[in-house]
Amino acid sequence: MTLYLDSSVLLAGYLGEDLADRSAEIVASDPVLCTSWLTTVEVRRTLARAHGGTIPSAVSSRVADDTDAVALIGADPTMWADAAVVAEVTGARSLDAVHLAAARSIGVPSLVFATFDLRQAQAARSLGMAVVGA
């Protein structure tokens, strides 16, 4: 199995939200983790905003360690085109469609999409993906 991590799952762990324990459980559930490079942007932006503009060094180190442990999926023209189709077909928000297209781009039939975002989870399920978290 391969687990695609949406930024919402990682952020719950970093921000100590109510879902932090569930986030840790999901991340630990699979040795093969992947996400889009978009996640790095979303995570760092959100963490900087949550910490008044500067991510504390301990949190920054944890993010760097996690990033090193996850396969990062880059965008190519085919993925962007698929993201447009995903957005059109599912009504997903633009960045959610990019995550869903990134997950689809790796072509793993047993892929599980991890998200705490209910709308994104609905879109993933409508595409036939297994979903955990939401």
User: Which pLDDT value is given to residue 57?
Assistant: 94
Architecture of domain 3-132: 3-Layer(aba) Sandwich (3.40)
Sign of CA dihedral 79, 81, 85, 90: positive
pTM strictly above 0.75: yes
Q: What is the mean pLDDT of residues 28-43?
A: 96
Taking the C-alpha atoms of residue 59 and residue 14, their distance in angstroms, rounded to an integer, is 7
Share of the chain above pLDDT 70, in %: 100
Nearest residue to 102 via CA among 132, 131, 126, 71: 71
> 16 pLDDT band (50/70/90 cuts)?
confident
Q: Where are the domains of the chain?
A: 3-132
pLDDT value, residue 83 = 98
3 state SS of 106: coil
Q: Is the pLDDT of residue 114 over 80?
A: yes
Task: Note the pLDDT tens digit of each residue in 63-108.
Answer: 999 999 999 999 999 999 999 999 999 999 999 999 999 999 999 9
Note the pLDDT of residue 134: 87
CA distance 100 to 104: 6
Torsion of CA 92, 103, 2, 127, to 10 degrees: 50
User: What is the number of alpha carbons within 13 Å of residue 98 lying toward its C-beta?
Assistant: 16
